[in-house]
């Protein structure tokens, strides 16, 4: 084969050169190239390029030609475009379906994720003045870390408002508060109550269905409730003016009813109780140095929140320092030093949901990173679908060769052809979009379940969304249609008419790259899914160090009061129970509790943060923990009963710098007044999610512990629960019986990982389906192109296997490249993900091999489907027509 | 029009077109310039001169029959026009006249 000059330089020349000069100039350049190429290819390339650059002169540059006839889009032509476009679609129904379906899947994904992102971004915007509402938070350094509180002390709101005139109003709420409410027979534990200032409803623009929003929360013992709440206690009877009896505050009068707090809010209180109900808050000492009140400021429209935030440090000098000085009885300088790291800060209301990640939020917030990740995924999948579309359109070019040739012969400009193909791709995109909207609406409930959102169908039917949908369709059509349009319209008239093949069948580098790209993503997602599954499996089957099965946890035992021991004895007497223990157990709670600071008593003390469990003597046995050293706590030792002796875990032993030889009898110092002796060491056990490393722990005896752990030995657990419940009632506890199973609580801890895995699975499926659709389309097309070749091969004696192999080889090679590309990347990404876990699996090569094999198999099935069909066809049929 | 004045390079190119008759095209003219006058030019410069001369009416051109060389592309063959021929004659004549008028003595020097 003759050597050719560098393609891009040649293309550049063809692009800029005026057509009437192109032939001679290109000819001369080629001649010079051919002459030099015998000595050195590189030299010839450089020489050619240099010449092309030198030819780039005004004299040689293409001018825009003014045509004397209309080049404008005319209605007649547009009609023709639609007609031919439609006929083309109909002629190859399967091919068009693949094209449309692929795009529709991509668009569906995009729509759903876009609605998720939009939903996340539009939190806390229901209040009329939300742009001017800020929450006051407190940051301070202690115990070697930064503590960030989303709430401040009782006096802060009023103090800021008094000192700075740009603050129009402040309002406070106490966050989710638990209480028991009763009306008649209904006695329920309520978790989402709050005390709120009288202007709370107005600041947040929460309308009341009944009652007066301005005064509803003014009087003591007023309560404003949601309609669902009203229904729960009062049924269909009018609730306004009725009484609800609270365990803490006594009788309260219902003064207002609101529908519900909007879904997109960072709090979802079921009922608001007037702040004045708690007299200690309104009339007690107004302090600054504590936390607990979610305080919101309504600023003047023209106020600058940054400047206000800067001024807040003055308040620390003015109020906090004197208060600490007085409370602690220390000098002003010492007080000053202790608040050095304190900082009041303002968080815009609408940013709370995505940007506030303190440990003490009212509810679990969203995360801006998720929004970014999902957004990227949405765009990615849409891109994959567009790539498919481009691939399939260019591959089908061969069929359009004659049409393009004839159009060109009859005087079409290139721009007209481009328009024609763009119109076609937009038709396809709009059809795909219509399907996508239908799919999205059908899938919405599942999507809501997956994401825990409440996006409604009406969201998709609102005018702005519909408009942007149309815009999206047109954009996608343009995006996916541009390359095919330019590619198709560039065919040379004579060549396509003569051979009926514009060269669309020849291997296009771009197309290969796109296939590689698609399969690389699919493979990476398969790897991600496998790793996520393995990790989750690993976490759930990790050796916990004890038995979580058959343990029933009974909550709120404190409500039994003096009957606590009687209740325990009752349980112990039951033949179905093997052990009972009462303890404060953070077991199974993904606790935000960082531990208490302690240190060891030794010549060179080492400190650590320690989790403290308040347990009774039966705890170790009930949970089946293994003692490795020393003894369990027991009522035979007075110091055990006083809570001065402790049992620690192995991690605590290591963190405090002891080993097996010296740990027993050592002393742990909590403060000057509080010291503990170690009497026993238990083997490490996972008392919270295995995502976390096991932390240091000590257990000490304390009688007032609010939870019962009951180890049962029966399969009829539900009968047992019913019996316990009736016993509970027999003790006349004024709170309802509530319980859970320990192992269920543990599986809840991995909910986030389960969701991650599900999301991976969904995205993997979508990516694979899209990639396969693309590959299927391409292989169909390739088989079609080679019908004659296959016919001849068969006549000459090729076997079916040989022909299938011949056709599949090229695609499988691409997939192989994709796997090689995806392997290191996906390994790295999942390795990063695994760093989040305290205990994790290692990714071995078999995972990548498995994913690769899966991708290969999927590709093989897709390709061979067509290849086999082509290979089995009777050669007479394909050759007869010649 | 800038007049019929011929630049030095233009004159050379015009001469080469004459010499190469009837096969004068870009690359050939460039090679001939190198061979006869020792002037090494870029092909684009040769093209520029040729087109300029054609615009001045001193050259005319036509496309050749395609051959297998140059990827089947045709060459643009340049020919002298009557005006080109006259212009060459005039310059040649002027140069000879002027040369003859140089005093003999001025041309007789010795290397001192």
- Mutation site, A24, A26, A495, interface B, largest B CB count within 10 A: A24
Hunting for tokens 């093989």 — which residue is that? A860
Q: Does A873 touch chain B (CB under 8 A)?
A: no
Q: Which residues of A446-475 are buried (b: 16+ CB within 10 A; e: fewer)?
A: ebbeebebebeeeebeeeebeeebeebbee
Quick check: A266 and A123 in contact, CB under 8 A?
yes
Confidence of residue A71 (pLDDT cuts 50, 70, 90): low
Report the pLDDT value the prediction gives residue A200, as an integer from 0 to 100: 93
Question: Is the model's pLDDT at B90 over the cut of 50?
Answer: yes
Report the pLDDT value the prediction gives residue A72, as an integer from 0 to 100: 59
Number of residues written out for chain B: 112
The pLDDT tens digits of the residues spanning A90-105 come to 887 877 888 888 889 8
Pick from A515, A597, A516: nearest CA to A776: A515
- Are B27 and A55 an interchain contact pair (Cβ–Cβ within 8 Å)? no
- Are A54 and B44 an interchain contact pair (Cβ–Cβ within 8 Å)? yes
What's the CA angle centered on A318, arms A312 and A321, to 5 degrees? 105
The pLDDT tens digits of the residues spanning A181-219 come to 888 888 888 888 999 999 999 999 999 998 888 888 999
The pLDDT tens digits of the residues spanning A325-348 come to 887 778 888 888 878 888 899 999
Mean pLDDT computed over A607-631? 83
What are A236's two structure tokens? 């269909």
Report the pLDDT value the prediction gives residue B15, as an integer from 0 to 100: 92
The pLDDT tens digits of the residues spanning A242-293 come to 899 988 888 999 999 999 999 889 999 999 999 999 888 888 888 888 888 9
> Mean pLDDT of all residues in chain A?
83
- Are B69 and A54 an interchain contact pair (Cβ–Cβ within 8 Å)? no
> Rounded to whole angstroms, how far apart are CA atoms A209 and A207?
7
Percent of chain A exceeding pLDDT 90 equals 13
Side-chain-side CA neighbours of A280 within 13 Å: the count stands at 2
- Are B74 and A28 an interchain contact pair (Cβ–Cβ within 8 Å)? no
- The contacts of residue A590 (CB under 8 Å, 6+ apart) are A688, A689, A749
Residues 79-108, chain B, touching A (beta carbon < 8 A): none
3-state secondary structure of A329: coil
Interface predicted TM-score of the whole assembly (ipTM), two decimals: 0.88
> Rounded to whole angstroms, how far apart are CA atoms A791 and A500?
19
Pick from A273, A289, A315: nearest CA to A172: A273
Question: Is the model's pLDDT at A829 over the cut of 60?
Answer: yes
Lowest mean pLDDT among A62-76, A107-121, B20-34, B70-84: A62-76
Report the pLDDT value the prediction gives residue A591, as an integer from 0 to 100: 45
> Rounded to whole angstroms, how far apart are CA atoms A82 and A80?
5
3-state secondary structure of A263: coil
Q: Does A14 touch chain B (CB under 8 A)?
A: no
The pLDDT tens digits of the residues spanning A780-821 come to 777 777 777 888 888 888 888 888 888 888 888 888 999 999
Residue in A26, A28, A55 closest to B27 by CB: A28
Lowest mean pLDDT among A211-220, A687-696, A710-719: A687-696
Report the pLDDT value the prediction gives residue A685, as an integer from 0 to 100: 84
- The contacts of residue A847 (CB under 8 Å, 6+ apart) are A527, A530, A531, A534
What are A532's two structure tokens? 């996520």
- More confident site: A519 or A501: A519
Nearest Cα residue in chain B from A3: B71
Report the pLDDT value the prediction gives residue A504, as an integer from 0 to 100: 46
Report the pLDDT value the prediction gives residue A507, as an integer from 0 to 100: 52
> Rounded to whole angstroms, how far apart are CA atoms A608 and A604?
13
Cα A163–chain centre separation: 42
Report the pLDDT value the prediction gives residue A590, as an integer from 0 to 100: 42
> Mean pLDDT of all residues in chain B?
87
pTM of the complete model: 0.67
What are B59's two structure tokens? 């050259």
Mean pLDDT computed over A493-513? 64
DSSP 8-state secondary structure symbol assigned to residue A292? -
The pLDDT tens digits of the residues spanning A625-680 come to 888 888 888 888 888 888 888 899 888 888 888 888 888 888 888 776 778 889 99
- Are A27 and B74 an interchain contact pair (Cβ–Cβ within 8 Å)? yes
Report the pLDDT value the prediction gives residue A362, as an integer from 0 to 100: 84
The pLDDT tens digits of the residues spanning A377-412 come to 788 888 888 888 887 777 776 677 778 888 888 888
Strands A607-615 and A697-701: parallel
Helical (H) or strand (E) element with B17: helix B8-19
Question: Is the model's pLDDT at B1 over the cut of 50?
Answer: no
Question: Is the model's pLDDT at A468 over the cut of 80?
Answer: yes
DSSP 8-state secondary structure symbol assigned to residue A508? P
Quick check: A312 and A159 in contact, CB under 8 A?
no
Report the pLDDT value the prediction gives residue B30, as an integer from 0 to 100: 93
> Rounded to whole angstroms, how far apart are CA atoms A553 and A730?
19
> Rounded to whole angstroms, how far apart are CA atoms A483 and A488?
8
Mean pLDDT computed over A736-742? 82
Quick check: B26 and B46 in contact, CB under 8 A?
yes
Helical (H) or strand (E) element with A612: strand A607-615
Cis peptide before B22 (omega within 30 of 0): yes
First to last CA, chain B: 48
- Mutation site, A27, A35, A52, A61, interface B, largest B CB count within 10 A: A27
Question: Is the model's pLDDT at A834 over the cut of 70?
Answer: yes
Question: Is the model's pLDDT at A143 over the cut of 60?
Answer: no
CB-based burial of residue A881 (10 Å sphere; 0-12 exposed, 13-18 middle, 19+ buried)? Answer: exposed
Mean pLDDT computed over B51-55? 91
């Amino acid at each position: 084969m003759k050597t050719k000059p560098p393609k891009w330089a040649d293309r550049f020349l063809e692009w800029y050169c005026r057509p009437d000069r192109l032939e001679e100039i290109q000819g001369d350049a080629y001649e010079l190239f051919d002459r030099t190429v015998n000595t050195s290819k590189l030299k010839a390339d450089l020489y050619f390029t240099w010449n092309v650059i030198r030819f780039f002169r005004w004299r040689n540059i293409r001018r825009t030609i003014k045509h004397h006839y209309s080049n404008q889009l005319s209605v007649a032509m547009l009609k023709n475009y639609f007609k031919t476009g439609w006929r083309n679609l109909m002629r190859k129904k399967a091919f068009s379906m693949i094209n449309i379906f692929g795009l529709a899947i991509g668009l569906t994904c995009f729509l759903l994720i876009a609605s998720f992102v939009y939903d996340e971004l539009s939190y806390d915007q229901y209040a009329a003045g939300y742009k001017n509402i800020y929450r006051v938070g407190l940051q301070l350094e202690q115990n070697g870390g930064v503590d960030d509180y989303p709430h401040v002390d009782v006096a802060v709101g009023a103090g800021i408002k008094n000192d700075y005139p740009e603050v129009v109003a402040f309002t406070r709420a106490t966050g989710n508060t638990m209480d028991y409410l009763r009306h008649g027979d209904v006695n329920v534990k309520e978790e989402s109550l709050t005390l709120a200032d009288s202007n709370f409803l107005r600041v947040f623009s929460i309308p009341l269905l009944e009652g007066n929003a301005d005064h509803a929360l003014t009087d003591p013992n007023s309560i404003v409730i949601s309609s669902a709440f009203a229904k729960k206690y009062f049924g269909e009877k009018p609730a306004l003016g009725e009484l609800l009896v609270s365990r803490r505050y006594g009788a309260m009068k219902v003064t207002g009813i609101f529908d519900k707090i909007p879904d997109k809010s960072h709090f979802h209180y079921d009922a608001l109780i007037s702040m004045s109900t708690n007299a200690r808050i309104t009339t007690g000492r107004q302090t600054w140095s504590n936390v607990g009140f979610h305080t919101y400021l309504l600023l003047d429209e023209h106020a600058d929140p940054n400047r206000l935030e800067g001024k807040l440090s003055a308040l620390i000098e003015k109020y906090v320092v004197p208060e600490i000085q007085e409370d602690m009885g220390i000098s002003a300088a010492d007080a000053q030093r202790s608040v050095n790291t304190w900082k009041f800060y303002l968080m815009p209301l609408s940013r709370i949901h995505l940007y506030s990640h303190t440990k003490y939020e009212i509810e679990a917030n969203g995360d801006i990173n998720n929004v970014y990740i999902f957004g990227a995924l949405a765009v990615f999948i849409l891109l994959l679908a567009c790539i498919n579309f481009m691939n399939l359109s260019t591959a089908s070019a061969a069929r359009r060769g004659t049409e393009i040739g004839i159009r060109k012969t009859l005087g079409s400009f290139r721009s007209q052809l481009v328009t024609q193909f763009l119109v076609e791709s937009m038709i396809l995109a709009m059809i795909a979009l219509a399907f996508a909207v239908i799919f999205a609406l059908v899938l919405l409930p599942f999507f809501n379940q997956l994401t825990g959102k409440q996006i409604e169908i009406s969201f998709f039917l609102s005018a702005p969304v519909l408009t942007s949908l149309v815009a999206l369709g047109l954009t996608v059509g343009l995006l996916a249609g541009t390359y095919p349009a330019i590619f198709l319209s560039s065919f040379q008239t004579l060549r396509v008419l003569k051979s009926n093949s514009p060269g669309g069948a020849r291997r296009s580098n771009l197309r290969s790259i796109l296939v590689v790209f698609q399969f690389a993503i699919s493979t990476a997602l398969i790897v991600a899914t496998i790793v996520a599954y393995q990790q989750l499996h690993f976490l759930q089957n990790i050796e916990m160090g004890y038995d979580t099965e058959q343990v029933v946890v009974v909550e709120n035992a404190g409500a039994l009061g003096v009957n606590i021991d009687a209740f325990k004895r009752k349980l112990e007497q039951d033949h179905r129970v093997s052990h009972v223990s009462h303890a404060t157990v953070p077991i199974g709670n993904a606790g935000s509790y960082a531990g208490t600071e302690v240190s060891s008593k030794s010549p060179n003390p080492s400190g650590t943060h320690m989790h403290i469990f308040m347990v009774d003597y039966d705890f170790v046995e009930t949970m089946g923990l293994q003692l490795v050293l020393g003894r369990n706590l027991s009522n035979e030792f007075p110091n055990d009963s006083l809570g001065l002796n402790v049992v620690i875990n192995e991690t605590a032993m290591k963190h405090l710098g002891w080993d097996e030889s010296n740990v027993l009898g050592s002393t742990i110092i909590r403060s000057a007044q509080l010291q503990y002796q170690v009497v026993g060491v238990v083997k490490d056990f996972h008392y919270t999610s295995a995502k976390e490393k096991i932390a240091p722990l000590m257990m000490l005896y304390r009688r007032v512990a609010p939870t019962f752990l009951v180890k049962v030995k029966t399969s009829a657990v539900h009968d047992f629960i019913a019996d316990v419940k009736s016993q509970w009632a027999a003790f006349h506890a004024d709170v309802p019986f509530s319980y859970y199973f320990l192992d269920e609580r543990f599986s809840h801890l991995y909910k986030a990982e389960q969701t991650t895995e599900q999301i991976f699975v969904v995205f993997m499926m979508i990516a694979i389906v899209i990639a396969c659709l693309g590959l299927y389309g391409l292989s169909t097309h390739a088989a079609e192109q080679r019908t004659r070749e296959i016919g001849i091969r068969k006549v000459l004696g090729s076997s079916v296997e040989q022909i299938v192999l011949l056709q599949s080889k090229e695609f499988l090679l691409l997939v192989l490249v994709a796997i090689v590309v995806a392997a290191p990347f996906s390994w790295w990404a999942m390795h990063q993900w695994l760093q989040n876990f305290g205990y994790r699996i290692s990714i071995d090569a078999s995972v990548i091999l498995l994913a690769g094999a899966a991708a290969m198999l999927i590709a093989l099935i897709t390709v061979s489907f067509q290849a086999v069909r082509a290979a089995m066809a009777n050669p007479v049929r394909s050759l007869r027509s010649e | 029009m800038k007049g019929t004045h011929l630049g030095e390079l233009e004159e050379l190119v015009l001469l080469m077109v004459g010499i190469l008759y009837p096969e004068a095209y870009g690359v050939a003219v460039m090679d001939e310039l190198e061979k006869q006058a020792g002037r090494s030019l870029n092909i684009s410069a040769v093209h520029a001169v040729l087109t300029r001369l054609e615009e001045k009416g001193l050259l005319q051109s036509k496309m050749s029959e395609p051959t297998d060389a140059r990827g089947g592309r045709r060459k643009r063959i340049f020919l002298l026009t009557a005006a080109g021929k006259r212009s060459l004659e005039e310059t040649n004549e002027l140069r000879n006249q002027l040369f003859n008028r140089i005093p003999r003595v001025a041309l007789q020097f010795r290397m001192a």
